[in-house]
Amino acid sequence: MLFIWGCQNAPKQAVETSPIQQEQTLLNSIEDHRQYLEKLFEEDQRLRQGQASKVLEQFGARSKEYITFNKELYEIDINNLEKVEHYLAKFGHPKVAEVGQTAADVPCTIIHHIFDFTARERNFGTLYLAYLEGDIDESLFILYLSRTYTVKFNKRMDMENGKPYKAEEEIKLLIQKLGWDRRRMQIESTYKKKKQRMKRMDGIEDKE
């Protein structure tokens, strides 16, 4: 009995949290979320202001300077990806109506800059649902899918018959070529059911 009592009253060890968990725990208001996401965007863009071409032109592709530059950019992208994936798991995708277009586009922007196909693939469901709900800019979502295609097949997707696509057609074709059609249909089904539930709830509220 003494052993049991001792276990029950032993001081609890503090749960270790990562710096990312700690900083995201502090996001309490919509404004906190907006500022956090916009800071991620600034960090994402910090080395994307034409510096790469300048370093390449000045020092060359095999130079220590260019290799160091790309390594720093890679580390920024990986760190931002970890922050974004933790954010999505904790809070879900940001809503454009709450945080604005720039902040809402941040998860897709950061994932778009990752060249790891697995990372791009595992986030497709979240990003596609956010696109359907109007929380990702259409052209940005197409860029994400197009580069994903390039990462997977090491080439750009050719337009069938040389004709330009409407945005919605291009998105569906890219998803099909990536082999994600079944996932697309499942996500669309989930989205439609969610819309139907919201309509029913709106109807109940109107009657009240």
Domain assignments of the chain as residue spans, ordered by start: 31-207
Window from 12-16, 32-36, 80-84, 118-122 with minimum mean pLDDT: 12-16
| pTM score, whole prediction | 0.85
pLDDT higher than threshold 70 for residue 119: yes
Window from 4-13, 118-127, 176-185, 197-206 with minimum mean pLDDT: 4-13
Helix/strand/coil for 12: coil
pLDDT higher than threshold 90 for residue 188: yes
What are the structure tokens assigned to 39, written together?
Answer: 């800071």
The per-residue pLDDT for 10 is 43
Q: Quickly list H helices, the chain.
A: 2-8, 19-25, 30-45, 51-59, 64-91, 96-99, 101-104, 106-112, 117-122, 124-132, 138-153, 167-177, 181-207
Helix/strand/coil for 166: coil
To which residue do tokens 């790891």 refer?
Answer: 116
What are the structure tokens assigned to 55, written together?
Answer: 């370093």
